[in-house]
Amino acid sequence: MLQEKFINYIKFEKRYSQHTVIAYQTDLAQFQIYLQAKYNIGGIENSDYSIIRSWMVSLMEAAVTPRTIRRKITVLNSFFKFIIKEGVISENPMAKVIVPKASKRLPVFVEQNKMDLLLDEIDFGTGFNSYRDRIIIELLYYTGMRLSELVNLKEKDIDIYNNSIKVLGKRNKERIIPFGGVLKASLNNYIIEKEKVVSGEIGNFFLISENGKKIYQKLVYRLVKHYISMVSTMDKKSPHVLRHSFATHLLNNGAELNAIKEILGHSNLSATQIYTHNSIEKLKTIYKQAHPKA
């Protein structure tokens, strides 16, 4: 089946993340259902421009956001490009498709003074869970790593002596993230407590639960939401918000955009440039507050 072959292609050759693969499968399955129900067509490869356009209209009528529609169209376009390479069709029906413009969504971040309050004033407590909870928050905020990268950190990835962490990012791309003295101290505290939990034996995964098992993503979400709630009333409280906070605070404090790009593991600069919008918004706020004629 062509869809299955395509999914294997993005999974094993393109090395897309599991989350992305699932999203591609879902979008293709949704379009397949539409084809069957509306046109009695069995295979996506048999659709044309007018059918794809009608699907887009149906999504708009269902109040699906332009951003989501753009993603679904991107998935379809990737599929058609794949089957052209496979010699199944000769022309891409997506060539004439005009996708709706998506409004730019600024990254949500925690203000720097509130992150200072969280890390300097909030009492995380004592004992293994407390040290682990703190190191989870600090790793996300001090390194900007993704949630999937965090939970999959191995013991061997942490280089305490050289103040660096090796991270396996999207499409299995490795990068090195430096860290400072504050995080180093917290890492040492956590390692000492962890050795007590695992009876002196260093486990494979760096972050574990009390029973020695690898932490899971829902636990991290729950912890991040709990601690951000202690200093902020913002609606969105996720691990990715701490990644956004890391990048925004670096930029606001003079870091070069290219350096932030490398630390975040972005494949191109355009993905990093969105943080400049937050800096511009900050400048606008300062201008309005300070200029007598603003």
Residue of 71, 114, 170, 175 with catalytic role: 170
Catalytic-role residue among 71, 240, 277, 282? 240
Is 134 an active-site residue? no
Check if 275 is active-site: yes
Of 243, 244, 249, 261, which one is the catalytic site residue? 243
266 is catalytic: yes
Q: Per residue in 11-41, is it b (16+ CB within 10 Å) or e — as a string? A: beeeebbeebbeebbebbeebbebbeeeeeb
Q: Which one is catalytic: 134, 146, 244, 261?
A: 146
Sheet holding 164-168: strands in order across? Answer: 158-159, 164-168, 174-178
146 a catalytic residue: yes
Name residues whose C-beta falls within 8 Å of residue 5's C-beta, 6 or more positions apart in sequence: 86
Burial of 66 per CB tally in 10 Å (0-12, 13-18, 19+): middle
User: Is 240 designated active site?
Assistant: yes
How far apart CA 267 and CA 171 sit, in angstroms, is 10
- Please list the active-site residues: 146, 170, 240, 243, 266, 275
